[in-house]
Amino acid sequence: MPAEFHFLRPEWFFALPLILLIWPLARLAIQSATSWERAIDPRLLAHLLDRASARPSKAPLWLIPPAWLLAITALAGPVWQQLPQPVQEKQDALVILLDLSLSMLATDVQPNRLTAARRKLRDLLETREEGVTGLIVYAGDPHTVSPLSDDANTIVNMLPALDPSIMPVPGSRLAPAISLASALFRGGGAQTGRILVMTDEIRDVVDAAAATGGHAISVLGIGTATGAPIPLAEGYLKDNQGVMVIPTLDPSPLRRFVDDTGGRFATMTLGDADLDYLLAPNDVIDDSFRDINRDFDVWLEEGPWLVLLVLPLAALAFRRGWVWCAVLLLPLALAPQPASAFEWADLWQRADQRGAEQLAAGDAEAAAATFDDPDWRAAARYRAGDFETAAGEFARADTATGHYNSGNALARLGKLDEALTAYDATLAAEPEHEDSRFNRDLVAQLLNQQQQQQNPSDGGDNQQQQTQDQQQGEQNSGESEQGEQQNAGSDAVQDGEQGGQEQQAAEHAGGEQEQHASPESLDAGEEEQAQQASAETAEQQETETEGEQQAALAQLDSEEAEAEQALRQWLQRVPDDPGGLLRAKFRRKSAERNQSGRAGQPDAAW
């Protein structure tokens, strides 16, 4: 069975139990009374009809269950392959021009005009299901926030950053913004398009009307006739004479402007009446479509082939007494249209999708058994604690990431030499892999500590062949070296073991001082005692090595947690300035215009 096999409408299988009701009813309908039996009393009918000449029904009732199963399976929509299908979209290009002059901070519309405009713009983008949309903000000069795109969410995500503070040139000049909108239409390949201006005033009416380029321009007026002051950080905005600036909304010049450009005008309302009027369908745009330069894969339904198997059984419905067979056509008559097909993806998922859900739920063992993708399967086995299998599957990837993950799994197993080799392979493929370099240095340090701890045990055996005074001195020296190694590990458990070893060595040296015997006079009891002390020392060193390995492995995990915490702390220190990127972009663009001599005429600051 193909891996992509699934059903588009699996909810139809809930109708399968209905066969338990349909089959007995059909059987009863065939075996029960004829028209005479319904009209004549059964006691009299026995004397009127010749039961011996009556033939038993030959209706094949056993065909009902398989026919019902075929019909339900066809309705469920079995699919396992996709076919590319070209797509068209409505060619409705809309460029929105948002005024970001200081007058948009007036508070006659609560909380201010700009906030209300952003909310209205969000509502507009949420209602656009087809076509492409672009956004331009303007003050003293215009700047593109988003070119023509069918992804309205891109513009929605940028709305909080739109503020007059990001505009490098103060003022309110609409004509350059209209020219930039025309350039967006040409760059996006749109033959026709509409422009929507969201502003409270148009000062350069003549220049703006001359820059339309044949595009219909509609205006959404924002503000009130009474107006309100413009609050700033240092107080309310004032003109050069020290008079407080109170911008108002005058609809008359805005109406004359849209009449000359073939657009519409509306003042902003709390509902959607303003947008419904401004963006009413246009007959020219409504009939304009264009091919999209991409194909969408459509599942090819195989259910109709199953219907061919049901048709011979359905044809029997035309025989006398077989009208009940028409029930087989009932589910086919209820088949939904392809455009409204429901897809129950939760019950028909691929193995990797099911494994991802199991892994997210914490069931790593079940996820490892479910995954088909080898990388995901190895990651699940690592989380499940099966480091041996995970290391092998990671290594088979033969990539820098695969060798790095394999090294981590080998380190968790205590195979430090093999882990070191895996980290070296990662650095050979990707020399800038900092995590692999750090883990490699840590594993190499552990290996050096193991080698240093094994050397003192060899020197302890030679101490038995020296004199009593030399033996005592070398034992004290050996214990001192061992203590230095243990202090380098900086582990409390190792310090305790060091103290116990020193005490045992002191007692052993004291016992030898009392005997005053030469190395040749050691009896069997002393040799046995020395061997026992050497064995205990080796066992303690092995315990210390295992403890250091576990501590190092724990340090690998703690280092990752510390790095993540450091990153979060660093991000918290980053200033919360969502408009910083746009501000820098607009400032650079304005500087380029000034250098090329394309800067506009000075305008009022608001």
- Per-residue pLDDT tens digits for 394-417: 888 888 888 889 888 888 888 888
Higher pLDDT, 597 or 146: 146
- Which pLDDT belongs to residue 44? 77
What would you measure as the largest C-alpha separation in the chain, in angstroms? Answer: 135
- Summarize the confidence of residues 439-452 as an average pLDDT: 83
> DSSP per residue over 72-132, as a string?
HHHHH-EEEEEEEEEEEEE--EEEEEEE-SGGGG-SSSSS-HHHHHHHHHHHHHHH--SSE
Q: How far is CA 361 from the centre of its chain?
A: 16
CA 456, 457, 458, 460 dihedral sign is positive
- Cβ-in-10-Å burial (0-12, 13-18, 19+) of 373 comes to middle
Q: Compute the average pLDDT of residues 294-308.
A: 74
- pLDDT band for position 375 (cuts 50, 70, 90): confident
CB 247 within 8 A of CB 606: yes
Q: Has residue 570 got a pLDDT over 90?
A: no
pLDDT-wise least confident of 88-97, 134-143, 345-354, 503-512:
503-512
Q: Are 375 and 397 in contact (CB under 8 A)?
A: yes
Q: Write down the CATH number for the domain with range 92-287.
A: 3.40.50.410
Which pLDDT score is estimated for 540? 59
The rounded distance, in Å, linking the Cα atoms of 348 and 6 is 6
Domain ranges, ordered by start, for the chain? 6-84+304-340, 92-287, 351-448
State the DSSP H helix or E strand holding residue 481, giving kind and residue range, or none if neither.
helix 468-489
Task: Fill in the amino acid letter for 563.
Answer: A
d(C-alpha 381, C-alpha 369), whole Å = 9
Of the candidate CATH numbers 1.10.10.10, 1.25.40.10, 3.40.50.720, 2.40.50.140, the domain formed by 351-448 belongs to: 1.25.40.10
Name the range with the highest mean pLDDT among 255-264, 304-313, 573-582: 255-264
The rounded distance, in Å, linking the Cα atoms of 421 and 404 is 10
Please enumerate in sequence order all residues whose Cβ is within 8 A of that of 237, keeping only pairs 6 or more positions apart, or say none.
102, 229, 230, 231, 244, 245, 605, 606
429 three-class SS: helix
Measure the CA–CA gap between 117 and 97, rounded to whole angstroms: 11
DSSP 54: P
Geometric angle at alpha carbon 395, from 394 and 397, rounded to 5°? 75
Percent of the chain with pLDDT over 70: 64
pLDDT at 336: 52
The whole-number pLDDT of residue 77 equals: 87
Rounded Cα distance between 305 and 276, Å, is 47
Tell whether pTM > 0.75.
Answer: no
pLDDT of residue 126 exceeding 70, the answer is: yes
Q: What is the pLDDT of residue 120?
A: 94
> How much is the pLDDT for 342?
41
- Here the tokens at position 469 are 């005074």
Q: How far apart, in Å, are the Cα atoms of 93 and each of 14, 130, 354? A: 45, 9, 41
Q: Give me the mean pLDDT over the 343-352 stretch.
A: 60
Instruction: Please tell me the predicted confidence (pLDDT) of residue 578.
Output: 63
Is 50 exceeded by the pLDDT of residue 41? yes
The string of DSSP letters for 517-573 reads --GGG--HHHHHHHHHHHHHHHHHHHHHHHHHHHHHHHHHHHHHHHHHHHHHHHHHH
Q: Are 371 and 383 in contact (CB under 8 A)?
A: no
* pLDDT (0 to 100) of residue 431: 84
pLDDT of residue 164: 92
